[in-house]
Structure 1
Amino acid sequence: MSKHNFVNFHVLISHSPSCLNRDDMNMQKTAIFGGETRVRISSQSLKRAFRTSDYYLGQFSKSQRTRRLLDDLAAKLGEEATDEPQKAAIEQCALFAAAIFEGKTKPKEIAEYKRAPSGHIETQILPFSQSEITALRQLLLDAAGQSEKARPDFLRDAIRTMEREQRGYVDLDVALSGRMANSELIYPVDGALAVAHAITSHAVEPQDIDWFTAVDDLTTEEGESGAGHLNTQQFSAGVFYRYASLNLRQLQVNMGLIEGIKAEETEDSRKRALEIAAHVLHLMATVVPTAKQQSFAAHNLADFAIVSLAHQPVSLANAFERPIERARNGGFLDQSIAALSDYWQRIGKAYGLEEQACAFATQADCTLGDQSALASLPEVKQWLVNDGAN
């Protein structure tokens, strides 16, 4: 039997009162599921929290997601330029390179590319890996040494070569989340990690409203009320279901561990992918978006998680299609854990899914099928690294 190619992560986190993700109206993000309103945390919010977390930055390098990389490189290289002609050449080469990243391939189109109305040299927003940034910096210097007429063709060919050589050297956040590209010369990356929007396992309606003021110390001392600012903020509490699925083979391709999606994985390449999967589990269980945390401090960790090695991605969100009801003695967590475990067993039996699974729980006596949940997250991470072997 072939080895399982997917790791499915199912995580339950009970968040205290908070507003972890807002829309353009400053309202909590929500979703209708099972006919009831749930509080929602978008996948974009979760992924950004993951890649900017202290845990991630302590383990891996992070890409720079920006429209203005070439603008930044031109400014820095311009400061280092030995004379004005070299500075002007670097500026021109940065504009030409931006045109190429925007999908321009004809010399005339490249030569006519201008700064954006903002005054910056801009492209589509892209995650640039650190090795790519280093290579692009040198490429601009090399191009500046060419004649003005030769620069468009030189940059087009050099960027094509650079991008081809950069495959397999992407930063982990790019390997996980992927990237889209406008230009055929710029290599796209198919993300290895699919992350769902997190939703509460139960209905949350209506959400609470915090009416708050900012007190003006000086006016207070003069005997006035001291309210220098008045506003409201939506917030709520709930048990959130987080789901993500990691394609191990795609991750190995993106990290340059194997040559293509159909290539045979090696013992070392699979081991490295599973080590990264263990880090993803840690992020899923511990990292919380930073929005409004100074006001609410909802720094909650996961109470329960199921991790499975599987032949396909399988979400367990339908465990909560019928919203969890509050327990007689209060709370939604125990019923959410029971519903998730039960649904995992039912869906596995119904479809004959040949998953290897392991559960983690902070409370005693939690089970997954006929096995007890492990009591520590490091144990589950090690189970993953060991490819499902205890």
Structure 2
Amino acid sequence: MSTRTIVEMHALETTAAANLNRDDTGSPKTMEYGGVTRARVSSQAWKRPIRQMFNDLLNPQELGIRSKKVVEILSKRIVALDDSLADEAPDLAEAMLSKGAGIKLAAPRKRKGAEDQEDKRLNQSQYLLFLGNRQYDALARLAVDVRKESSDLKEAQTAIGKMKKQIKQIIKDDKAIDIALFGRMVADDTDLNIDAASQFANAFSVQAVDTESDFFTAVDDVHNAGDTDDENGGDSGAAMLGEIEFNAATYYRFADVDANRLYDTLGDVEATAKAVGALVKAFVMSMPQGKSSTFAQGTLPDLVVVNIRDTQAVNMSGAFLTPVKPNYVANATKALVRRSKDMDDVYGVTPVKTWVVRIGDATKDADALAEAVSLRELVDGVEEVVSSRLSQE
């Protein structure tokens, strides 16, 4: 029996007016598919709110920080361990990252108006570096220990430069859950890379979508009061004019995670099962926050289907190559169920286990895949099956 464990997540989610993910002109992203224009949300746009939701679902010590401000972050960890090193902490942090880990650092771009004043911001990595909280703590502890054993800062920096193997090993041993799931690329040293255990598809609308435009005005409350001392008093015209583009759609969303590869990185069955469970929940509950104060797009999926396969992940986007017709959720559900059954019958990729979470009569056809359960039952069930299967490896 194969113990390969691939967890698939499929969702149909309907949003009303929204601009979830903008292009460089501010318009909602789109794509051509099946001969028509579809609304689109990039995988990056949806992965970020998922990672942010992990802060509520998991212990922060089990997570990482993705930032260029690596010297600043490590400096603060050093000071937290020994506040007498406040003045030397930036230099120690820079030595750990640059001389020790081989990460190239550079001065940040100068801010506007800083030409005539000293820019005291610390050096930064030249790309976003994803590093676990436990790794920052371990590097800070090492920096403090080295400084205590050295007569001065220069001697400590020299000592750190001779500890490259140990420092790189600390970074390579990263067990942060979000880094294991989403991966890490270190351009300066590929040995520090971590392959992502998860994959995310671009979400797209199951129907053809036209981008619409909202013309708006803003009125000056004081000016509009009609102050007669104001040369424009009483003028009810707008103080600001603007335009926001938006669309409305039912999206098909897909992601998967290779639990075996995740286990290879995390090295613990229960931690892996918990990570998969958190990913499933965050996938369901998250929402990109583009223009959220304007559109309040806090929806939840109409339908969620989660499969565990022992073969390979199967994206069901082909179910919507022909744009579905109104009623969109009902017709999209039928198309997804039909595609799923065809894939299983023809290619022999029948899931080991399937869960369905759904609302409303429009999604009732999904009962043909599995009995509907609650989100909590889904997460608990996924964690249990993943744990059981990994324990058999």
Task: Please indicate the TM-score interval, normalised by the length of the shorter structure.
Answer: 0.7 to 0.9
Q: Which residue of 2 aligns with 1:220?
A: 224
Distance in 2 between residues matched to 1:372 and 1:241, nearest whole Å: 19
Bigger drift between 377-386 and 232-241 goes to 377-386
Q: Is residue 2:344 matched to residue 1:348?
A: yes
Aligned residue among 347, 355, 360 for 1:358 = 355
Q: Which residue of 2 aligns with 1:263?
A: none
Matches within 5 A, 1:1-390: 1-53=1-53, 56-61=55-60, 62-74=63-75, 82=84, 89-100=88-99, 103=102, 115-118=107-110, 119-123=121-125, 124-145=127-148, 146=150, 150-151=155-156, 154-158=159-163, 160-165=165-170, 167=172, 169-184=174-189, 187-205=192-210, 207-222=211-226, 223-257=234-268, 269=269, 272-310=271-309, 311-325=311-325, 327=326, 331-356=327-352, 357-364=354-361, 366-368=364-366, 370-387=368-385
Report the CA distance between 1:63 and its aligned residue. Answer: 1.8
The answer as to whether partners of 1:213 and 1:227 remain within 8 angstroms in 2 is: yes
Amino acid at match of 1:244: A
Deviation track 1:142-178 (CA, whole Å, cap 9, x = no partner) reads 4445456655553245353244245555322112111
Instruction: Flag the 1:159–1:45 CA change in 2: closer, same or farther, 3 A.
Output: farther
Q: Which residue of 2 aligns with 1:265?
A: none
Deviation track 1:93-134 (CA, whole Å, cap 9, x = no partner) reads 333334347846xxxxx8xx7634444311131122111111
Instruction: Flag the 1:302–1:168 CA change in 2: closer, same or farther, 3 A.
Output: farther
The answer as to whether partners of 1:242 and 1:284 remain within 8 angstroms in 2 is: no
User: What is the RMSD of the two structures over their aligned residues, measured on CA atoms?
Assistant: 2.9
Q: Structure 2 stretches of 5 or more lacking a match?
A: 111-120, 227-233, 389-393
Amino acid at match of 2:135: E
Distance in 2 between residues matched to 1:91 and 1:56, nearest whole Å: 27
* TM-score of the two chains, using structure 2 as the length reference: 0.82
Amino acid at match of 1:233: I
Distance in 2 between residues matched to 1:35 and 1:156, nearest whole Å: 58
Report the CA distance between 1:3 and its aligned residue. Answer: 2.1
Report the CA distance between 1:81 and its aligned residue. Answer: 5.7
The answer as to whether partners of 1:213 and 1:231 remain within 8 angstroms in 2 is: yes
Distance in 1 between residues matched to 2:328 and 2:43, nearest whole Å: 23
* TM-score of the two chains, using structure 1 as the length reference: 0.83
The answer as to whether partners of 1:219 and 1:226 remain within 8 angstroms in 2 is: no
Query: SS where residue 192 of structure 2 aligns?
Result: coil
Query: SS where residue 218 of structure 2 aligns?
Result: strand
Deviation track 1:276-308 (CA, whole Å, cap 9, x = no partner) reads 323222212221112212211111111112111
The answer as to whether partners of 1:360 and 1:377 remain within 8 angstroms in 2 is: yes
Distance in 2 between residues matched to 1:8 and 1:339, nearest whole Å: 17
The answer as to whether partners of 2:307 and 2:351 remain within 8 angstroms in 1 is: yes
Query: SS where residue 52 of structure 1 aligns?
Result: helix
Report the CA distance between 1:75 and its aligned residue. Answer: 6.5
Q: Structure 1 stretches of 5 or more lacking a match?
A: 105-109, 258-268
The answer as to whether partners of 2:135 and 2:170 remain within 8 angstroms in 1 is: no
Q: Which residue of 2 aligns with 1:262?
A: none
Bigger drift between 239-248 and 3-12 goes to 3-12
